[in-house]
Amino acid sequence: MKTPALIFDHDGTLVDSELLHFECWREVMAEYDVIVSEQEYIRDHNGIPTLRNAEVFIETYSLSLEPAQLCAIKQSLFTTRSLATPSPLMPTVLKTLQAASAAGYPMAIATGAERADIERSMSAHQLAHYFTTTATRSEVTLGKPAPDVYLLACERLQVEPARGVAFEDTAAGVMSAKAAGLICIAIPNRFSMHQDLSQADAQCDCLYAAYQLAPQLMDSSP
């Protein structure tokens, strides 16, 4: 049996934070008289790094500020809300990480979020010890759906991408993992259930089911 390295997305896969991201963007954009619907957020912004989302909002609504400024405003609000009330874990996350750790699988996080957000989340849920490394948006040239963050995670784990299994919740994340050469299992949630996840090698209802499927997919890969 081939031993896979397990690489997890963060927002929407490990932590149920997509609603908070949406609420923060909606509140920030309201200051510029822009109403962001949940449908628009799901269609254009879910799973995309914050800076790229800022660029899209500015382009779409012809706002007269720099993407970095809008990004900083949203990040500040997100940080404040996260510190006050950390987003909960997604279903079966702890069960999955405990089982994978006991089985000896190397694990990493590959995320479009900033390192400070991940460190705060890992501290709140006491999960940091499960992961060998974390690759974040600020450490790569291009965010998801580009493959950069997954390639960096594999490099730090010292594994070939073909030995990696990615766990993702969004179309952008799936495209990123597949472009990097990993097997990818999608776990859709409220914000991604209507996205095109067809590039994933499989879809599961929860993270633990995806974890159980990972060795089988690895063994059947070329």
Query: Which of 23, 173, 134, 129 is CA-nearest to residue 85?
Result: 23
Q: Which of 9, 11, 117, 201 is catalytic?
A: 9
Tell me which residue has tokens 């991408």.
Answer: 161
Instruction: Write the CB contacts of 71 (distance below 8 Å, at least 6 apart in sequence).
Output: 50, 51, 53, 54
Active site residue 148: no
List own/partner pairs for 196-200 with CB under 8 A and 24 or more apart.
196/171, 197/170, 197/171, 199/171, 199/174, 199/175, 200/168, 200/174
Catalytic site positions = 9
